[in-house]
Amino acid sequence: MLKEYCSAVRDAEEHHVRIVEHIYQSVPQWSLAPLVSALAMLRGIDILMATSIAAAIGDMRRFDSPRQLMSYFGLVPSEHTSGSKRRLGAIIKTGNCEVRRRLIQAAWHYRHPARVGRAKMDRINAGSKVTRDIAWKGQVRLTKRFKHMIHAKKQTNIVVTAIACELLGFISAI
């Protein structure tokens, strides 16, 4: 029985590798390839994650503002309003939960100081200066905001969610 389970795991891993390779080979011919390469300049976002974000967003022009994009992925707080009282609650969790999860994973990378690693340098140098500037500005702002919120004794999960939400603002800018 153990051999069967090990074989099933091995088959699933091989299948996953084939799918990822197919995605990497298909991206250059895709109409959203420029968006994917631009998103991959952001910290915490690789080609695979950028591909899933670009596929979920589709045409960025359908969002009038970054706030709409944040709302589309369910990263804005719910609101309870009664008279003059306005209370914000947990995030609304609408939209694509897989992309929301990936954005939260990417937000964890901003807990480290702003820098560009060797692996990311080639992707960044291949992009336009405007996109590079937006990516660097985003990295500096989000790392500083992460540190500030942690020092203000905010809960770590709330900090990461807020960073993921603001990361969508930089994705919208790109």
Residue 97 identity: C
| Token duo for residue 10 | 């091995």
What is the extent of the structural domain holding 134? 31-173
Give the contacts of 103 (CB within 8 A, at least 6 positions apart): 53, 73, 75, 164, 167, 168
Count of domains forming the chain: 1
pTM across the whole model:
0.88
Asked if residue 83 is part of any domain, the answer here is yes
pLDDT number for residue 80: 87
Q: Which residues contact 159 (CB under 8 A, 6 or more apart)?
A: 146, 149, 150
135-149: pLDDT as tens digits: 999 999 999 999 999
Give 91's pLDDT tier (boundaries 50, 70, 90): confident
Evaluate whether residue 11 is within a structural domain: no
Q: Which long-range contacts (CB under 8 A, 24 or more apart) does 18-25 make?
A: 20/48, 23/47, 23/48, 23/51, 24/48
59 sits in the region (left: phi over 0; alpha: psi -120 to 50; else beta) called: beta
Residue 1 maps to a domain: no
Residue 15 lies in a domain: no
- Asked if residue 41 is part of any domain, the answer here is yes
Q: How confident is the model at residue 123 (pLDDT cuts 50, 70, 90)?
A: confident
- In one-letter notation, the amino acid at residue 161 is T
